[in-house]
Amino acid sequence: MVTWEYPPNVTGGLSAHMVGLAPALVRAGVEVHLVTPQPASSSSYMPERLNDPAHGVVEEGVVIYRVPLVENCGSVYDQARETNWVIQDQGQALLASDHHFDLIHAHDWLVVFAAQALKHQFRLPLIATIHATERGRARGGALHTDLQRNIHGAEWWMAYEAWRVITCSHHMASEVQAFFHVPSEKIDIVPNGISPYRNGHWTEGDLVDCQARYGVSDQQVVFAIGRLVHEKGFHLLIEAIPRILSEFPDTQFVIAGRGPEAPSLMQQARRLGVANNVHFPGFISDEERDCLYHVAACAVFPSLYEPFGIVALEAMSAGCPVVVSGVGGLREVVRHGKTGINVYPGDVRSVAWGLLSILRDPALAAARAQEAQSMVRREFNWDTIASRTLAVYQQVLDERSRIEW
């Protein structure tokens, strides 16, 4: 496996996917060796001898090879190109060792340069999981910058080089077909999974302390979390807050995460006169996130673009009622009126309606949340996801055994 993110290098949802999938594959009987870059701040994780196949660290059964992330080299595309040389060197040492490998599984365009080179050098099938697309982030519109076009080109290349392409939703499969002209028979849809929520972990004191950190006690809390970027739609949530407060004036809103939109979102809250009801804690731990899911009246994800929406699954797993945009993978994960509320993407009035429907009828919201929790545990656990991934591996290996390279 080759991936741009793996803890402690966490930027977005890719890391959560990897830390769930890789150990689950090990539990399913797969020997997994994973190569991933780490920033200089994680230098304690660096091996003393780079490119030595013996230096892997075993975590939950996964053998992990962390290599240095090349920094200070321009755009993320330039950084990826330079870092891929280091990833490729490590991959070459590993694949040339005494270990026997059956295939390479690469995650997202950031590692395509190394993955395709290793594929051709060692004649191993390449499986690519495409988690999102640059054109999808532009909502299917034109790509205006060289950076956007370069990323799009790398994504196309990855889809082309892959023996099979895995996407996390039917929506993403449609994007891959439309944007990269990939035939449908080359695509497998395997959703993201989540780790089980720790029900019963929280004491009453824990919950009181969690509320106190945001200056709330008896007030209702609406919780949102994600990267603070335009595509997550948090500006729509803030625009809807005055409508919520007109009916439920004591409601508090917690918007957690980091990102370039943070200053403008805070300014928006001040401009609308709701800053006293909106809390921006920045990055929070998984433990803090789970505690907030437990105390919140609902969680809201008003995204404009969302290939899958693992954050919604996390909230549903915790038994927290959810309001989500009916866009991308979120529309597939949340079944409107049954496991949550879907609202129109980009529509402030619809976001307000969804939140008010939860706050007005907490009993109905709790019933939907219970149904959602059961559905998540049944359909989106990592062992089930690993089994479906393993079926893709087996299909590729069966096909590979019947052909010349």
Answer yes or no: is pLDDT of 272 > 80. yes
Read off φ and ψ for residue 308, nearest 5 degrees. -135, -65
Indicate if 336 and 387 belong to the same structural domain.
Answer: no
Answer yes or no: is pLDDT of 52 > 70. no
The three-point CA angle 161-164-169 to 5° equals: 120
Contacts of 167 by beta carbon, 8 Å cutoff, 6+ apart: 129, 130, 173, 175, 176, 187, 188, 189, 190, 307
pLDDT more than 70, % of the chain: 95
Specify the pLDDT at position 40: 76
Specify the pLDDT at position 327: 86
Buried b (16+ CB within 10 A) or exposed e, 347-356: bbebbbbbbb
Q: Provide the whole-model pTM.
A: 0.78
> Is 26 a member of any domain?
yes
Specify the pLDDT at position 198: 54
> Is 125 a member of any domain?
yes
Instruction: For residue 13, give its domain range.
Output: 2-193+382-400
Specify the pLDDT at position 368: 96
pLDDT band at 23 (very low <50, low <70, confident <90, very high): very high
Distance CA 335, CA 319 (A): 15
The token duo for 108 is 């997202």
Answer yes or no: is pLDDT of 404 > 70. yes
Indicate if 179 and 225 belong to the same structural domain.
Answer: no
Indicate if 134 and 277 belong to the same structural domain.
Answer: no
Across residues 9-18, what is the average pLDDT? 81
Contacts of 400 by beta carbon, 8 Å cutoff, 6+ apart: 103, 125, 163
> Is 73 a member of any domain?
yes
Residues 299-333: pLDDT tens digits? 999 999 887 778 898 899 999 999 999 988 888 88
Indicate if 183 and 264 belong to the same structural domain.
Answer: no
The structural domain count of the chain equals 2
Indicate if 212 and 187 belong to the same structural domain.
Answer: no
> Is 199 a member of any domain?
no
Indicate if 121 and 261 belong to the same structural domain.
Answer: no
Answer yes or no: is pLDDT of 35 > 90. yes
> Is 14 a member of any domain?
yes
Indicate if 158 and 30 belong to the same structural domain.
Answer: yes
Read off φ and ψ for residue 192, nearest 5 degrees. -70, 160
Question: Count of CB atoms within 10 A of residue 189's CB?
Answer: 15
Place of tokens 């949550």: 340
Q: What CATH number did the domain enclosing 70 receive?
A: 3.40.50.2000
Indicate if 113 and 155 belong to the same structural domain.
Answer: yes
> Is 198 a member of any domain?
no
Q: Considering only CA atoms, which of 362, 294, 357 is closest in space to residue 324?
A: 357
Residues 186-233: pLDDT tens digits? 999 998 888 765 555 677 888 888 888 887 877 899 999 999 999 999
The three-point CA angle 399-404-405 to 5° equals: 95
DSSP state of 69: P
Indicate if 169 and 229 belong to the same structural domain.
Answer: no
Distance CA 101, CA 33 (A): 9
Place of tokens 């950031």: 110
Read off φ and ψ for residue 47, nearest 5 degrees. -75, 155
Indicate if 227 and 303 belong to the same structural domain.
Answer: yes
Indicate if 155 and 216 belong to the same structural domain.
Answer: no
Answer yes or no: is pLDDT of 50 > 90. no
Indicate if 336 and 392 belong to the same structural domain.
Answer: no
